[in-house]
Homo-oligomer: A and B are copies of this chain.
Amino acid sequence: MESELACPIAPVVDLVFSRWTTPILWTLNEHGRLRFVELERRIGTITPKVLTQRLRQMERDGLVTRTYHPEVPPRVEYEISELGRSLAPVFHGLAEWSKRNLAKVDEARSRYDGTN
């Protein structure tokens, strides 16, 4: 998808920051093991189809684990894996940067738009 030619982190960006993966990972990291609907509700605006798609991909990539309980009604639980958890420092770094610099982005936008 992205050009790796000039950017060594392109693969990991594709992996971790493609759409919905961050909220999913963050939620699972905060609340531990969750059922499908719980995850769906906590994220709020995602549709079940898309949530399923992303979870499958993340399961394949080893970022989350899926546990199926053959009951009636069926119960499926998702959990962040060790590999997924190892991204925590990166996320923390982003949160820090956010706290410190996101306001500057807003300022820059106002300046650019001339709506000082």
- Which of A's residues lie within 8 Å of B, judged by CB? 2-3, 5-13, 15-17, 19-20, 22-23, 26-27, 30, 42-46, 59-62, 83, 86-87, 89-91, 93-95, 97-98, 100-102, 104-105, 107-109, 111-113
Contacts and interface: CB of A to CB of B under 8 A. Distances in A.
Contacts of A15: 102, 105
A17 to B, nearest CB: 4
Contact of A10 (B2, B7, B22, B59): B22
B98 A11 contact: yes
A11 B102 contact: yes
Contact of A86 (B61, B86, B101, B112): B101
Contacts of A6: 23, 26-27, 30, 42-44
